[in-house]
Amino acid sequence: MRPTHCSLRSLLAVLLIACLSLPALADEGMWIPMLLQRNEADMQAKGMHISAKDIYDINNACLKDAVILFNQGCTGEFVSPEGLFLTNHHCGYYYITSHSTVAHDYLTRGFWAMTREEELPCPGLTATRLVRMEDVTAQVLEGVSADASELERSQLIDEHIAYIISQATQGTHYRAIVKPFYYGNQYFMYVNEVFTDVRLVGAPPSNIGKFGGDTDNWMWPRHTGDFSMFRVYVNREGKPAPYSTDNVPYQPKKHLEISLKGVQEGDFTFVFGYPGTTHRYVTSDAVDLAANVQNPICIDLRTIRLKHYNNAMNRNAALRLKYASRVASIANGWKKWQGESQGIARLKGVEQKQEQERLFQRWADNNNEYRDVLTKLHNAYTQLRPLQERAVYFSEGVHASDFMGTAAKLFQLATTPDSLAQRHADETSYAYEPTDVDSAIFIETMRYVMKHNPQWGFAVAHPTEAQATEELQRIYHSSRILNKASLDSVKQHVAQCDQWLNDPAVDLYSSALDYAFTADQQHERRRLNVDINRLMRTYVRGLMAMYPDSNFFPDANLTLRVAYGHVSGFHPRDGVYYKPYSTLDGILQKENPDIYDYVVEPKLKSLHYRRDYAPYADENGAMPVGFIATNHTTGGNSGSPVLDADGRLIGINFDRCWEGTMSDLLFDPDYCRNICLDIRYCLFIIDKFADAKHLVDEMTLIQ
Ligand code: ARG
Ligand code: GLU
Q: What is the mean pLDDT of residues 131-137?
A: 98
Beta bridge partners of 74: 70
Per-residue confidence (pLDDT) for residue 26, from 0 to 100: 74
pLDDT in tens, 297-307: 999 999 999 99
Q: Whose CA is nearest to atom 3 of ligand 1?
A: 655
Per-residue confidence (pLDDT) for residue 317, from 0 to 100: 86
Q: What does DSSP say about strands 641-643 and 624-629: parallel, antiparallel, or unpaired?
A: unpaired
Q: Model confidence at 416, in pLDDT bands (50, 70, 90)?
A: confident
Is the predicted pLDDT of residue 111 greater than 50, yes or no? yes
220 CA distance to ligand 1 centroid (A)?
13
Q: Whose CA is nearest to atom 2 of ligand 1?
A: 655
Is the predicted pLDDT of residue 119 greater than 90, yes or no? yes
Q: Which runs of consecutive H residues, i.e. helices, occur in 431-518? A: 436-452, 457-461, 465-478, 484-492, 504-516
176 CA distance to ligand 2 centroid (A)?
25
Whether ligand 1 lies within 6 angstroms of the CB of 328 is answered as yes
Q: DSSP states of 115-177 as a string?
A: SGGGPEE-TT--EEEEEEEEE-HHHHTTT--TT--HHHHHHHHHHHHHHHHHHHHTTSS-EEE
417 CA distance to ligand 1 centroid (A)?
40
Query: Comparing 252 with 147, which gets the higher pLDDT?
Result: 252
Q: How far is CA 587 from CA 237, 657, 676, 691, in A?
A: 46, 18, 16, 20
Q: What is the mean pLDDT of residues 585-592?
A: 98
Q: DSSP states of 529-586 as a string?
A: HHHHHHHHHHHHHHHHHHSTT--PPPPP-SS-EEEEEEB--EEEETTEEE-SEEEHHH
Per-residue confidence (pLDDT) for residue 138, from 0 to 100: 98
Whether ligand 1 lies within 6 angstroms of the CB of 275 is answered as no
Q: Whose CA is nearest to atom 6 of ligand 1?
A: 332
Is the predicted pLDDT of residue 129 greater than 90, yes or no? yes
Q: What is the mean pLDDT of residues 56-82?
A: 97
| Cβ contact 541:182 at 8 Å | yes
pLDDT in tens, 529-556: 999 999 999 999 999 999 999 999 999 9
Query: Comparing 422 with 88, which gets the higher pLDDT?
Result: 88
Q: Model confidence at 647, in pLDDT bands (50, 70, 90)?
A: very high
146 CA distance to ligand 2 centroid (A)?
38
Looking at the CA of 676, name the nearest ligand. Answer: 2
pLDDT in tens, 10-55: 444 444 444 444 444 578 999 999 999 999 999 999 999 999 999 9
pLDDT in tens, 142-159: 999 988 999 999 999 999
655 CA distance to ligand 2 centroid (A)?
5
Active-site residue among 80, 100, 284, 638?
638
Judge whether 226 counts as a catalytic residue.
yes
Most ligand 2 atoms within 8 A of CB, residue of 654, 661, 673, 676 to mutate: 654
Instruction: List own/partner pairs for 99-105 with CB under 8 A and 24 or more apart.
Output: 99/200, 100/321, 101/321, 102/317, 102/318, 102/321, 105/321
Q: Model confidence at 102, in pLDDT bands (50, 70, 90)?
A: confident
Task: Give residues with Cβ within 8 angstroms of 333, minimum separation 6.
Answer: 298, 302
Whether ligand 1 lies within 6 angstroms of the CB of 213 is answered as yes
591 CA distance to ligand 1 centroid (A)?
20
- Mean pLDDT check: name the lowest of 232-246, 265-279, 316-330: 316-330
* Percent of the residues in the chain that have a pLDDT greater than 90, as a whole number: 85
Q: Model confidence at 486, in pLDDT bands (50, 70, 90)?
A: confident
| Cβ contact 222:582 at 8 Å | yes
Neighbours of 670 (CB within 10 A): 14
Whether ligand 2 lies within 6 angstroms of the CB of 580 is answered as no
CA angle 18, 663, 28 (to 5 degrees): 55
Per-residue confidence (pLDDT) for residue 496, from 0 to 100: 72
Looking at the CA of 93, name the nearest ligand. Answer: 1
> Chain-wide mean pLDDT for the chain?
93
Whether ligand 2 lies within 6 angstroms of the CB of 388 is answered as no
Is the predicted pLDDT of residue 596 greater than 80, yes or no? yes
| Cβ contact 678:650 at 8 Å | yes
Active-site residue among 226, 267, 678, 687?
226
Half-sphere exposure in the Cβ direction for 213 (13 Å, CA): 23
Active-site residue among 80, 89, 90, 438?
90
Judge whether 493 counts as a catalytic residue.
no
Q: What is the mean pLDDT of residues 599-617?
A: 96
Q: Is the dihedral of CA 521, 526, 529, 531 positive or negative?
A: negative
Domain residue ranges of the chain, discontinuous segments joined by +: 61-266, 284-396, 399-517
Judge whether 399 counts as a catalytic residue.
no
pLDDT in tens, 339-372: 999 999 999 999 999 999 999 999 999 999 999 9
Q: Whose CA is nearest to atom 8 of ligand 2?
A: 635
Query: Comparing 99 with 382, which gets the higher pLDDT?
Result: 382
Please give the DSSP secondary-structure letter assigned to residue 676.
E
Beta bridge partners of 112: 202
Most ligand 1 atoms within 8 A of CB, residue of 74, 638, 640, 659 to mutate: 638
Question: Looking at ligand 2, which atom is closest to the CA of residue 218?
Answer: 6
Please give the DSSP secondary-structure letter assigned to residue 473.
H
Is the predicted pLDDT of residue 491 greater than 70, yes or no? no
First to last CA, the chain: 58
pLDDT in tens, 437-485: 999 999 999 999 999 999 999 999 999 999 999 999 999 999 999 988 7
Q: Model confidence at 422, in pLDDT bands (50, 70, 90)?
A: low
Q: Measuring CA to CA, which residue among 74, 39, 45, 15 is closest to residue 560?
A: 74
Looking at the CA of 328, name the nearest ligand. Answer: 1
Question: Residue 429, SS3?
Answer: coil
* HEC letters along 359-384: HHHHHHCCCCCCCCHHHHHHHHHHHH
Neighbours of 336 (CB within 10 A): 22
Q: Model confidence at 286, in pLDDT bands (50, 70, 90)?
A: very high
